[in-house]
Chains A and B, each alone.
Chain A
Amino acid sequence: MPTRNMIEAINDAHRVVMAADPDIVVFGEDVGYFGGVFRATAGLQKEFGKERCFDAPISEGGIVGTAVGMAAYGLKPLIEIQFADYIYPGYDQIVSEVARMRYRTAGEWTMPMVIRSPYGGGIFGGQTHSQSPEALFTHVAGLKVVIPSTPYDAKGLLIAAVEDPDPVIFFEPKRIYNGPFDGHHDKPVKPWSKHADSEVPDGHYTVPLGKARIVRPGNDLTVIAYGTMVHVALAAVEENGIDAEVIDLRTLVPVDMATIEESVKKTGRALVVQEATKTSGYASELVTLIQERCFYHLEAPVGRVSGWDTPYPHAYEWIYFPGPIRMRQALEKVMAD
């Protein structure tokens, strides 16, 4: 089976869906001739023509707004916002238009589009290339929010997102585009080629939206994570010798609560991990859901690991980024309580 890193898997997903459906158009800043700054759309313009993969003006509001019109026409836009940090100029179109169109027209118009965007830190990107704004979108009714953590999932989830009838925000953890990451920034990143999840089949397959994955079974604690944090959590669990069950959410909305609930009721302890700033993050929602549904099974308060409530720094990035130390302290606390 071919081995692909995450960016190659995403690129391959584009090829699969574009070949299957002539109504899919791909556009965004630099995505056409050059193939995107991260190369996610490399070769697509050459293969599918300029009318199906093209460069857009630097106008995220324009990119999303025109995508709304295209979806109204009957096309399926698969658009790239170059960095999640740049999504804000398009936020009004996403929140007020894309998310609500099906509802406000009682299904007369739908918005089957995917908005892809690299997100998260760990690449020395400073404030404007490192944010994790997923909670801003999980709060919006009508959107689905998907975040893969492996090349296999990235391709399967992206194809499922394109085939989904609802608009999907697809955040790609750019820290692990080229290889998994265990939170030790001073250690070399292992290439995806040495990882089982880099075996990415050719052709069409999907990973269903709304279904989490138990990455590591365990009995004493449930660790819930998504994106880059799945790998940070896994490494921390292994390094600390805890028999923890690690769940990769894959989809934040709709979240697979059944898997979380079953696991937490089994282990009696839960730790939620996000890279985003702490206050009102998606982890807060997960903690509440667990409290609402598993309270009488809990043996300790639900723990939470996150970035700090500061804008994302440049020089102090490795103090901001949730890593082995924060993970160890949180694991110790939730296990000791």
Chain B
Amino acid sequence: MSDPVTDPRRNAPALALHVPEPLYRPGDTPDFSGIEVPAAGSAPRPDTHAAAAETHPLTRGLVRVLDENGRAVGPWDPRLDPERLRKMLRDMVTVRAFDDRMYRAQRQGKTSFYMKCTGEEAIAVAAANALHPDDMCFPTYRQQGLLVARGYPLVDMMCQIYSNAGDKLHGRQLPIMYSDKPHGFFSISGNLGTQYPQAVGWAMASAIKGDSRLAMGWIGEGATAEGDFHSALTFAAVYQAPVILAVVNNQWAISSFSGIAGAEQSTFAARAVGYGIAGLRVDGNDALAVYAAVDWASERARANAGPTLIEFFTYRAEGHSTSDDPTGYRPAGEAQQWPLGDPVERLKAHLVGFGEWDDERHAALVAEADKEVRAAQKQAEAQGILPGQGFDRIGSMFEDVYADTPWHLAEQREEALGEARVYLGRDAS
């Protein structure tokens, strides 16, 4: 007989580690019929002042407004006027055209890097349309739609992408890491998740000062595993900060599928339950549902009724970035199988459905957006592309480290200019 003290594990079964795997890998035929997509209009819409718990059943469902025929149905229909809908459509089409041109620019060697948001255009665009223009956004890198929707010049975005003479960030940031205070767009960080507690802090500050503006933060589903996600939710809940916290669940964090971030065990919206804050799970490819959810959460936040966590369920139709080849880890054509469809096509169908849009006008809009983007690109490239940068205003590299340049940086600036002088055979600035 074994002694349980000296040999306590004699009959214990071997433990096994569970490593989640996506349903499909390259070569497989994707079939998303197993994904539960509730009928549009079926989710109830609680009062914006409702107790957080009343929203919690919605963290496992899916708020949807546009049905299969493009009709807006159910209590979440934001009943937007055609002008607003056309603006949202125009913003989304512009974002897509912008992405395509900048993707090509990267492939042509004009810049180092680009990240498209194909398939996710509705999330930033509809949110920006639902927020007040002076609400503050703490985005991640796939919310270029915020800037487009808020009227930030495309040329300025491109100059930043090219790190050229027109780049207001002086060539210090990766392309797509925009920053613009007047348009309420906070500087993007490459360290994932950091913007989340920052959004909460901004919202807390707004409350401390008795302001009426709120903050909205975005994070990818993969980055919800970062500690900052959890500290942000803790602070948002504790101080009932006037903040909207969005999780963009686009299924893929580079090559890691959402299961690696915990999606097998629970939805991301359901993280709200444990923190006791309102939570919504929303069809991210449905511009009206996105608008309605952000509108609901902003009304709630503005009334001091607390923060909301919103999961936007969507699909990253393109690679993570220009450095990524998604055919190495997922089947080709998955995006076309995605049961929630294309956000641009769905919004277009909605407008067409009630006679406020048609194929001709849409084709004209696409052509116009393309023309606008091309014109902006020309203007931006006239100020330089990335490969031509690096020897003008070298001295500026040493500015803005501190408000005033301390002695050691002043010395290093002179050293760098000396190096450049040797390298260039002429004085550098």
Q: Flag if A105 contacts B169 (CB, 8 Å).
A: yes
Q: Flag if B197 contacts A65 (CB, 8 Å).
A: yes
Bound Cα distance A107, B399 (Å): 9
Bound Cα distance A210, B407 (Å): 10
Write out the residue numbers on chain A whose beta carbons fall within 8 Å of the beta carbon of B168: 106, 108
Q: Answer yes or no: B204 CB below 8 A from chain A CBs.
A: yes
Q: Flag if A57 contacts B198 (CB, 8 Å).
A: no
Write out the residue numbers on chain B whose beta carbons fall within 8 Å of the beta carbon of A105: 169, 179, 187
Q: Enumerate B228-250 residues with CB–CB distance to A below 8 Å.
A: 228, 230-232, 234-235, 238
Write out the residue numbers on chain A whose beta carbons fall within 8 Å of the beta carbon of B190: 96
Q: Flag if A66 contacts B179 (CB, 8 Å).
A: no
Q: Answer yes or no: B227 CB below 8 A from chain A CBs.
A: yes
Q: Enumerate A86-118 residues with CB–CB distance to B below 8 Å.
A: 89, 92-93, 96-97, 101-110
Q: Answer yes or no: A142 CB below 8 A from chain B CBs.
A: yes
Q: Enumerate A201-230 residues with CB–CB distance to B below 8 Å.
A: 210
Question: A72 with B401: in contact, given A106-B172, A108-B181, A254-B407 (CB under 8 Å)?
Answer: no
Shortest C-beta distance, B235 to chain A (Å), equals: 5
Bound Cα distance A25, B194 (Å): 21
Residue in A59, A70, A142, A144 whose beta carbon sits within 8 Å of that of B201 in the complex:
A70
Q: Answer yes or no: B200 CB below 8 A from chain A CBs.
A: yes
Q: Flag if B403 contacts A165 (CB, 8 Å).
A: yes
Q: Answer yes or no: A36 CB below 8 A from chain B CBs.
A: no
Q: Answer yes or no: B267 CB below 8 A from chain A CBs.
A: no
Q: Flag if A106 contacts B170 (CB, 8 Å).
A: yes
Question: A67 with B172: in contact, given A105-B179, A142-B402 (CB under 8 Å)?
Answer: no
Q: Flag if B204 contacts A70 (CB, 8 Å).
A: yes
Shortest C-beta distance, B165 to chain A (Å), equals: 13
Write out the residue numbers on chain A whose beta carbons fall within 8 Å of the beta carbon of B172: 103-104, 106
Question: A62 with B235: in contact, given A51-B208, A96-B189, A97-B189 (CB under 8 Å)?
Answer: yes
Residue in B206, B215, B227, B400 whose beta carbon sits within 8 Å of that of A61 in the complex:
B227
Q: Flag if A141 contacts B197 (CB, 8 Å).
A: no
Bound Cα distance A25, B204 (Å): 11
Q: Flag if B208 contacts A69 (CB, 8 Å).
A: no
For the complex, count residues of A whose C-beta is within 8 A of B: 47
Bound Cα distance A57, B232 (Å): 10
Q: Answer yes or no: A316 CB below 8 A from chain B CBs.
A: no
Write out the residue numbers on chain A whose beta carbons fall within 8 Å of the beta carbon of B197: 61-62, 64-66, 68-69, 93
Bound Cα distance A52, B238 (Å): 16
Q: Enumerate B209-232 residues with CB–CB distance to A below 8 Å.
A: 209, 215, 227-228, 230-232
The chain A residue sitting closest to B227, CB to CB, is A61
Q: Answer yes or no: B191 CB below 8 A from chain A CBs.
A: yes
Residue in B187, B200, B205 whose beta carbon sits within 8 Å of that of A104 in the complex:
B187
Chain A, residues 30-52, CB within 8 Å of chain B (1/0): the string is 00000000000000000000011
Q: Flag if B198 contacts A69 (CB, 8 Å).
A: yes
Write out the residue numbers on chain B whose beta carbons fall within 8 Å of the beta carbon of A166: 402-403
Q: Enumerate B148-188 residues with CB–CB distance to A below 8 Å.
A: 168-170, 172-173, 177, 179-181, 186-187
Shortest C-beta distance, B385 to chain A (Å), equals: 19
Residue in A61, A75, A255 whose beta carbon sits within 8 Å of that of B228 in the complex:
A61
Chain A, residues 113-144, CB within 8 Å of chain B (1/0): the string is 00000000000000000000000000001101
Q: Flag if A62 contacts B231 (CB, 8 Å).
A: yes
Q: Answer yes or no: A257 CB below 8 A from chain B CBs.
A: yes
Bound Cα distance A255, B194 (Å): 30
The chain B residue sitting closest to A65, CB to CB, is B197
The chain A residue sitting closest to B201, CB to CB, is A69
Q: Enumerate A2-58 residues with CB–CB distance to B below 8 Å.
A: 25, 51-52, 56-57
Bound Cα distance A273, B112 (Å): 46
Bound Cα distance A67, B187 (Å): 15
Write out the residue numbers on chain B whose beta carbons fall within 8 Å of the beta carbon of A64: 197
Q: Flag if B227 contacts A89 (CB, 8 Å).
A: yes
Q: Flag if A70 contacts B205 (CB, 8 Å).
A: yes
Q: Flag if A72 contacts B198 (CB, 8 Å).
A: yes
Write out the residue numbers on chain A whose beta carbons fall within 8 Å of the beta carbon of B198: 65-66, 68-69, 72, 97
Write out the residue numbers on chain A whose beta carbons fall within 8 Å of the beta carbon of B177: 104
Question: A254 with B204: in contact, given A65-B228, A104-B187 (CB under 8 Å)?
Answer: no
Q: Answer yes or no: A74 CB below 8 A from chain B CBs.
A: yes
Bound Cα distance A54, B249 (Å): 34
Write out the residue numbers on chain B whose beta carbons fall within 8 Å of the beta carbon of A93: 194, 197, 228
Q: Flag if A75 contacts B208 (CB, 8 Å).
A: yes
Q: Flag if A66 contacts B204 (CB, 8 Å).
A: yes
Q: Flag if B187 contacts A109 (CB, 8 Å).
A: yes
Shortest C-beta distance, A199 to chain B (Å), equals: 31
Q: Which of B200, B235, B402 has the most CB of A within 10 A?
A: B402
Bound Cα distance A66, B228 (Å): 10
Q: Flag if B227 contacts A57 (CB, 8 Å).
A: no
Residue in A25, A69, A101 whose beta carbon sits within 8 Å of that of B138 in the complex:
A69
The chain B residue sitting closest to A141, CB to CB, is B401
Residue in A59, A89, A106 whose beta carbon sits within 8 Å of that of B400 in the complex:
A106
Show the binding face of B for A, using Cβ within 8 Å: 136, 138, 168-170, 172-173, 177, 179-181, 186-187, 189-191, 194, 196-209, 215, 227-228, 230-232, 234-235, 238, 399-403, 406-408
Chain A to chain B contacts (Cβ below 8 Å), 5 pairs: A59-B235, A65-B196, A69-B199, A69-B200, A70-B204
Which 10 pairs of residues, A with B, have the shortest CB-CB distance?
Answer: A69-B201, A65-B197, A62-B231, A66-B201, A73-B205, A69-B202, A254-B406, A69-B198, A165-B403, A59-B231
Sample of 17 more A-B contacts, CB < 8 Å, known A66-B197, A101-B187: A25-B208, A57-B234, A59-B234, A65-B200, A66-B235, A68-B194, A70-B205, A71-B201, A72-B201, A73-B202, A73-B206, A93-B194, A106-B170, A108-B187, A109-B186, A142-B401, A144-B402
